[in-house]
Amino acid sequence: MIHRNMSDRDWWRGACIYEVYVRSFQDSDGDGEGDLPGLISRLDYLSDLGVDALWITPFFPSPMFDSGYDVSDYRAVDPRFGALDDFRTLTDKAHDLGLRIVIDQVYSHSSSHHPWFQESAASRDGPKSDWYVWADPKPDGSPPNNWLARFGGVSWEWSSTRKQYYLHNFVIEQPDLNLHNPEVQDEVLDIMKFWFDLGVDGLRLDVANFFMHDPLLRDNPPAALADRPANPYYMQQRVFDRSRPETLPFLERMRAVAGDRMLLAEISCDWQIERMAEYTQPGRLHTAYSFELLGPVLDGRHIARAVEQAGAGDSWPTWAFSNHDVTRVADRWGAERVKVLQALLLSLRGSIVLYQGEELGLPHSNVPRDRLQDPEAIRFWPNHRGRDGARTPMAWDDTPGLGFSTAEGWLPAEPAHRPLAVSRQAGDPGSHLSHCRAMIALRRTTSALRLGDFDTIEADADGLTFWRRHNGQSVLCSFNLGDRPRAVPVTPNGHTLAGTLEAGHIPPHSYWIAEAAT
């Protein structure tokens, strides 16, 4: 068993957090969907991988219009995923193994099936009439403003009962909660306490920058674009429907409830790096991540700049190269770069999120049109690959079903994942899995990599070199993202910790990490 200090209040600083997409991780009952008992059965694998915590995607009751991110009961477990006792067992066993538990919480919106919304939609005068964002139509009957929904169409849906529109930033079945209402805020804080009382160590706050909207409902201005995107959502500057300053006092209320339990915010659909620093100032959230390092272009200059800006002052960022919403790294940035990207991610200043299957170097899956579940992919087919390709079953073995389930999965198992399955990589010291495990261990045992300062030496399109320093330890990290050998700008008088250096050069798609002599 890997030793972890479970009494450390600041465990999240520099931690490696493994994202479990629970619906696709491990099925225990043969219904084709992953569940909590299945996750429990794989905890030893995650402990051996060396990660510090598990972020578990939603397992709450939901009609599944958006794969569980449309919650209809915030204090229960959907029967398809198990029961509340299964969650208690999961938490206890994870803690016994030294693993922290972080769960997704979706407070920007609920499901339209939630009793709160049913009551709110029934009357303008009921106790929960103001728990969601309602607005009158314009005199011509059109929506209150020009806001667009993330998954297509306008952000407003008509209610014939209230004769008003309600706001939904995502699908119609995800009405926005009115977090300007103190009663709604109080309810959210009470939900947080419920899960903390069950032993949860942290919360991942879905689309935290969508918590508040402009109370005046002003129109968004147009965005300056060179080309017209497939999704018109990106044709607006998101000035009034998200990332509002009104969010900040509520984040402070959340932090007061959470105390030392980690709050990790997702800054969704927002490339503004300053939002991460803003949300993690003292008294607000512990850490946050944005989509800064999830883009289509791999550029050392951009990575260095993002790390420096997001870590300004007392803020503590979190970084990810992949998650359940984007094309997998092996397809986006190249299969030949898997190991160098694992090493780079695990060398950055901040906390780290590793998405399930990233340790295996899995490519993005090809999901046929008739098997799509993602509302975004369905809406914009065939001009958008959608998110389902990152959500297919985890590759445990090289059988056709990948060891995920005895039944056909809710998404199809990807044949290209069979040679990369855990069973094929586990005993191979040269595999992606073995490499990732070694890099996690290096980060865990090297204070400069986990907690140190970040000082850029050199950065360009094809690579970057930086120092990590902490408590007298200095570690040089140099990465070659290009196709030719790359000279190291500084050679410390010390010893190699990981990677390869050949006559002062790093081979293509490789790296060198060395500790300077003290």
Q: How far apart are CA 155 and CA 146, in angstroms?
A: 8
Q: How far apart are CA 241 and CA 171, in angstroms?
A: 15
Q: Which two tokens stand for residue 430?
A: 């040269």
3-state secondary structure of 487: strand
82-86 — which CB contacts under 8 Å span 24+ positions? Answer: 82/35, 82/36, 82/37, 84/198, 86/35, 86/36, 86/37, 86/40
Residue 430 · residue 449 · CB < 8 Å: no
Specify the residue for token string 């170097």: 361
Specify the residue for token string 């200095």: 474
How far, in Å, are 3, 174, 390, 410 from residue 134 at the CA level? 51, 13, 34, 35
pLDDT of residue 1: 54
Q: What per-residue string of b and e applies to 19-39 under the rule 16 or more CB within 10 Å gives b?
A: bbbbbbbbbbeeebbbbbbbb
Measured between its terminal Cα atoms, the distance across the chain in Å is: 31
Residue 40 · residue 417 · CB < 8 Å: no
> Which residues, at least 6 apart from 353, have a Cβ–Cβ distance to it below 8 Å?
17, 18, 19, 55, 289, 318, 319, 320, 323
Half-sphere exposure of 384 (CA within 13 A, CB side): 20
3-state secondary structure of 213: coil
> Which residues, at least 6 apart from 94, have a Cβ–Cβ distance to it below 8 Å?
43, 54, 100, 101
How many other C-beta atoms lie within 10 A of the C-beta of residue 408? 12
Q: How far apart are CA 309 and CA 306, in angstroms?
A: 5
Burial category of 483 from C-beta neighbours within 10 Å (exposed 0-12, middle 13-18, buried 19 and up): exposed
Active site residue 241: no
Residue type at 145 in one-letter notation: N
Residue type at 292 in one-letter notation: E
Q: How far apart are CA 424 and CA 431, in angstroms?
A: 9
Q: Which two tokens stand for residue 415?
A: 């044949």
Per annotation, catalytic residue among 266, 299, 388, 414: 266
Strand partners, 487: 505
Mean pLDDT in consecutive groups of 10 residues from the start of the chain, 518 residues: 72 98 98 98 98 98 97 98 98 98 98 98 97 98 97 95 98 98 98 98 97 98 91 93 96 98 90 84 94 92 94 89 96 97 98 98 95 88 84 98 97 98 97 98 98 97 97 97 96 93 97 93
3-state secondary structure of 282: coil
Active site residue 414: no
Q: How far apart are CA 420 and CA 61, in angstroms?
A: 33
Q: How far apart are CA 201 and CA 192, in angstroms?
A: 11
> Which residues, at least 6 apart from 77, have a Cβ–Cβ distance to it below 8 Å?
36, 59, 60, 61, 83, 84, 86, 87
Q: Which two tokens stand for residue 378?
A: 């369905």
Residue 479 · residue 453 · CB < 8 Å: no
Burial category of 161 from C-beta neighbours within 10 Å (exposed 0-12, middle 13-18, buried 19 and up): exposed
How many other C-beta atoms lie within 10 A of the C-beta of residue 69? 22
How many other C-beta atoms lie within 10 A of the C-beta of residue 382? 8
Specify the residue for token string 């160098």: 340
Q: How far apart are CA 514 and CA 496, in angstroms?
A: 4
3-state secondary structure of 252: helix
| pTM of the entire predicted model | 0.96
pLDDT of residue 8: 87
Domains belonging to the chain, first-starting first, are 16-111+182-442 (3.20.20.80), 453-516 (2.60.40.1180)
Q: Which two tokens stand for residue 323?
A: 């998650």
Cα-only R_g, the chain: 23
pLDDT of residue 422: 98
Q: How far apart are CA 177 and CA 180, in angstroms?
A: 9
Q: How far apart are CA 265 and CA 250, in angstroms?
A: 13
pLDDT of residue 47: 98
Q: Which two tokens stand for residue 410?
A: 């809710």
Choose among 464, 136, 121: nearest CA to 306. Answer: 464
Choose among 72, 69, 58, 76: nearest CA to 19. Answer: 58
Helices (H), 126-181: none
pLDDT of residue 314: 82
Per annotation, catalytic residue among 19, 33, 78, 206: 206
pLDDT of residue 4: 65
Q: How far apart are CA 426 and CA 421, in angstroms?
A: 9
